[in-house]
Structure 1
Amino acid sequence: MKICGACVRELPDGSYSEEQRARRQSIRRCEECVAAGNQLVQMKKGRTRSEGDDCPICQLPLPLDPLQSAFRMCCMKEVCNGCVLATRKRGMWDCPFCRAPAPDESQVLAMIQKRVAAGDPVAIFNLGNRYHFGRYGLEKDVARAIELYERAAELGVTDAHYNLGTLYDEGTDVEKDVDKAICHYETSAMGGHVFARFNLGCKEYNAGNHNLALQHWMISAKLGDDDSLNEVKSLFMNDLVTKADYAAALRGHQSAVEEMSSPDRAEAKALGL
């Protein structure tokens, strides 16, 4: 018995073609779903970014470029540079969201740990990040980072799944495990994580599953990812996708970029904020 990745039914092996039986569960489709053109679950979910990807002040989707926003330890919020600039124009230099003064580096770890003790998923993820890279006086401890990432992932933090995916994918600090990496990428992508979706496209392309790669890259391109759009363009230039697909990716990408834009953000970027 195998589970179909589209209808999520547990079906006997005879319900699948030989090609589909050889695939992992998340990208396997029964003959009925193939004939009906039913999409895989992972292609139905994560087609929009989560609300957590919005700036808490202007409510616009945060830029995908991490340099265009900043994480605030005082309130555990990611604020776009446009809103930072807007508050500074009004003479306010404290946190644009909670108005707390910027903490000293010596205070940051205690602030995170206090929120971790209260079960804050974002704080748990951030503490994992500190152990992962050895920041704020902590020794690098990847095992502890993984423990915290897994805890945050269980609480729904898509970034935690993504970081776990990259750890197992790269195999630098932990034993390489591509199956685990893909599992975490898939969960993250279905939660709207753009870069996890892009990575899945790369995995499928390298495995020779060009149609699945295209589906992933179309989703992430329409969420504003430049690399995904470039991959769709490359497929188009090599006659592997239609002009209509490329045009749809272009339109979706432009729409997402416009949604992430504002005069304040443009000014902040021009000023190098």
Structure 2
Amino acid sequence: MASQDRDLNRNDLSVGTEVTIVGLKSEKGKIHNGKIGVVSSPLDPTTERYAVKLQDGEKMLSIKPSNLRTKNSKNTDDKKLNDLEMKYLYENRHDMVSKLMQFMEFSGKFSGQRAPDNPRLFEKAPPQPDCEICMLPLPLSRLERDFQYCCGKSIPVVESKAMARCLKRHMKRGNANAFTIMGECTYRGTEGFRQDAAKGKELLEKGAELGDSAAYGHLGDIHADVDRDAPKAMKCWETGALMPVPNLHSRHRMGMMEWDLLGSTERAVMHWRVAAGRCGYKKSMTSLMEANKTGHITKDDLSATLQAYKESVDSMSSLDRKRAVEIRNSGIFG
């Protein structure tokens, strides 16, 4: 045990001990991580560092004990890591079994039930509707257009009670968006609304019935994350993704479902390319970047999608909108 402690502390390394350099964080130091050297002098009590001579040359480095590993200490550290891994697996075994059962449940429900693709599923998405004020395509996020700013204009709804009154007036007129927003707030208990999942889901279903694509996105999330019903979730997301004003969250989650639970990485990439390249959806572009790291999308396809993504984002950008965001973030309007 005493020798093991010495290895862990590394404060008594003798001259001539072979060591590996690890954990250097400075720009100059990083290049030496992983290199092997030999301790050439005892620990300097002033600087608390060892002089280490690299094996690949005459260069001498001054290194802290915590950045040095000996063969024995590496074995000890590996053992500690293995012990921690086993402890984590044991403590989280129930959660891991639950996740495995969830995967099997999702896959089992979907196995053999995939309906033929809608011929429009991977066609070019329709363009975003134009803002009636600035005549540029509307921002993708509703938070940037419905109850906040677009080109410096906004609907003055800041308090939850005022928001509820406004939504109820629009709901009486059959406004699908109002049902969806009220449903989401009620389902989650946000914006000062009392949480009621059943009522919230009912309002979302009404919003979907009236033709709001975002309602289908929320319902798909509920079917996937709460009901554990993959076919229903995919059906909702597909409907939302194919509406005249498509719900890009739905398209993105279809890709996530294909990637994570159904094992169809090719279809996942196709969904993300539609959302990112044709509609400028940032989350899907990020997913494509990650897919590129694992070789699931070619560099040419990624480059073409990135170019289309930038063009789509630029089409929704203007100096007025940038200024509006700055004003909103400054807190001038509370």
Identity within the alignment, %:
28
2:121 counterpart SS class: helix
Selected match of 1:114 from 169, 175, 183: 169
In structure 2, the gaps of 5 or more residues are 1-110
The match for 2:75 is none
Superposition pairs of residues 148-167 of structure 1, within 5 angstroms: 148-167=203-222
Cα drift, residue 193 of structure 1: 1.5
Within the candidate set 198, 204, 213, 2:252 is matched to 198
1:105 positional shift: 4.3
8 Å CA contact 1:185, 1:197 repeated in 2: yes
User: CA separation in 1, counterparts of 2:191 and 2:214?
Assistant: 20
Q: 1:65 to 1:111 in 2, by over 3 A?
A: closer
Partner Cα separation in structure 1 for residue 325 and residue 259 of structure 2: 34
Q: Which residue of 2 aligns with 1:71?
A: 146
The code of the aligned residue for 1:214 comes to V
The one-letter code of the counterpart of 2:265 is: H
Q: Shift in Å at residue 182 of structure 1?
A: 1.2
Q: Which has the higher contact order (CA 8 A, sep 6+)?
A: 1
User: Do the aligned residues in 1 keep the contact of 2:214 with 2:247 (CA within 8 Å)?
Assistant: yes
Match of 1:62 in 2: 138
Which residue is 2:241 aligned to? 189
User: C-alpha distance in 2, partners of 1:26/1:146?
Assistant: 28
C-alpha separation between the residues in 2 aligned to 1:79 and 1:270?
Answer: 10
User: What is the identity, as a one-letter code, of the residue corresponding to 1:24?
Assistant: R
Give the Å deviation of 1:176. 2.7
Q: CA deviation at 1:49?
A: 4.4
1:134 Cα offset (Å): 2.9
Deviation at 1:235, TM superposition (A): 2.8
CA distance change for structure 1 residues 40 and 213 in 2, over 3 Å: closer, same or farther?
A: farther
| TM-score normalized with structure 2 length | 0.57
Amino acid at match of 2:280: G
Matches within 5 A, 1:1-273: 22=112, 24-27=114-117, 40-44=119-123, 47-51=125-129, 54-64=130-140, 69-72=144-147, 79-80=149-150, 83-84=151-152, 95=154, 102=157, 105-135=160-190, 138-171=193-226, 175-191=227-243, 192-206=246-260, 207-222=262-277, 223-271=279-327, 272-273=329-330
Mapped contact 2:157–2:163 kept (Cα < 8 A): no
Question: SS where residue 44 of structure 1 aligns?
Answer: coil
The structural deviation recorded for 1:263 is 0.8
After superposition, the CA RMSD in angstroms is 2.7
After superposition, the C-alpha distances for 1:25-61 in whole angstroms (9 at most, x for unaligned) are: 144xxxxxxxxxxx8431126x13442xx43422323
| Partner Cα separation in structure 2 for residue 103 and residue 253 of structure 1 | 33
Q: Pick closer, same or farther for the CA change 1:135–1:239 going to 2, 3 Å.
A: closer
Length-normalised TM-score, structure 1: 0.69
Mark the CA change 1:208 to 1:143 in structure 2 (over 3 Å): closer, same or farther: same
Question: For the structure 1 residues 102 and 227, does the alpha-carbon distance in structure 2 shift closer, same or farther, using more than 3 Å as the test?
Answer: closer
Q: Deviations over 1:197-231 (max 9, x none)?
A: 11111111222212211110110111112222232
What is the deviation of 1:147? 1.1
Whether contact under 8 Å (2:149, 2:324) holds in the other structure is no
Q: Which amino acid aligns with 1:210?
A: T
Task: Measure the CA separation in 2 of the matches of 1:263 and 1:217.
Answer: 28
Structure 1 unaligned regions, length at least 5: 1-20, 28-38, 73-77, 88-94
